[in-house]
Amino acid sequence: MGLLLTACTHALIVAEPPGPGELRRPARSYSYPVGEYFAPSVAWIAGTARFTTLACGSHEFPYSVGSGMADLLREIDRASFSRVEPLDGPSQEIAGVRRSILFELAEMRVSLSSDRISWGTARRAAKAELEIRVVLSIDGRRVPLETVTGRGNVQDLGSFFDGCGAIADVIPIAIRQSLRAAAANYMTRLEDPKRF
């Protein structure tokens, strides 16, 4: 006798990053150019959100940020430096450009929970955490920066009878919060003149 486990995979959720008008402008700008490299995991962010609770545990929600976070980081760099030169690889050098910003790795984790809190009512929560490893290269010498992080946390009360799929509404909100927080966190790195 075998045990058959099935998972319910929902439609792809596309999470949009905040627009440039939603973020403050960088407080500091630099008069020199930089190179800029995005590893594949940063250039395109996608994954699957899963429940951490037994209730709805078989449900999975694929999501995609796509190139949205990389585009946001590009906008921040262009507002912070006199010129930004795209790099094809992390060790590429461009004449006249001494510093390069290397976005080496992005990890997005999205976890979900659903708890019945009364007859007919459920508390649903989505948590998103984004970590981006950033390295500054100065004349070929690598200087690791602290990991850029952003977190989002959304809770919602709804009818227990709406089913597990109802949490899909809060997933993109939590992801968007984490993108916004990561962008703000990255700007604080750029504002430290001792680093740049």
Q: Is residue 7 part of a domain?
A: no
Three-class SS state of 29: coil
Collapsing DSSP to helix, strand or coil, 3 comes out as: coil
User: Residue 21 domain-assigned?
Assistant: no
Q: Read off the amino acid at residue 142.
A: R
Instruction: Provide the sign of the torsion angle of the four alpha carbons 177, 179, 184, 186, taken in this order.
Output: positive
pLDDT at 20: 66
Measured CA to CA, the distance from residue 125 to residue 5 in angstroms comes to 24
Q: What is the pLDDT of residue 168?
A: 92
Q: What is the pTM of this model?
A: 0.91
User: CA of 62: how far to CAs of 12, 14, 50, 100, in Å?
Assistant: 5, 9, 9, 33
What domain count does the chain have? Answer: 1
Residue 14 belongs to some domain of the structure? no
Question: Is residue 2 assigned to a domain?
Answer: no
Residue 26: DSSP 8-state: P
Residue 39 lies in a domain: yes
Is residue 109 a contact partner of residue 128, using CB atoms and an 8 Å limit?
yes
From first to last of the 196 residues of the chain, give the pLDDT tens digit.
Answer: 444 445 688 999 999 888 767 888 888 899 999 999 999 999 999 999 999 988 788 899 999 999 999 999 999 999 999 999 999 999 999 999 999 999 999 999 999 998 888 888 888 999 999 999 999 999 989 988 889 999 999 999 888 778 888 899 999 999 999 999 999 999 998 988 777 7
Q: What is residue 7's three-state secondary structure?
A: coil
For position 162, which CATH number holds? 3.30.160
Closest by CA to 122, choosing from 112, 108, 134, is 112
Q: Please indicate, yes or no, if residue 22 is contained in any of the structural domains.
A: no
Q: How far apart are CA 129 and CA 112, in angstroms?
A: 12
The CA angle 81-91-27, to the nearest 5 degrees, is: 20
User: What is the span of the domain harbouring residue 63?
Assistant: 29-190
User: Tokens 């999205």 appear where?
Assistant: 110
Domain for residue 171, yes or no?
Answer: yes
Is 72 part of any domain? Answer: yes
How many other CB atoms sit within 10 Å of the CB of residue 91? 12
Q: What pLDDT, on a 0 to 100 scale, did the predictor assign at position 119?
A: 82
Q: Where are the beta strands (DSSP E) in the chain?
A: 8-9, 13-14, 30-38, 45-51, 59-66, 81-86, 99-118, 121-138, 141-144, 148-159
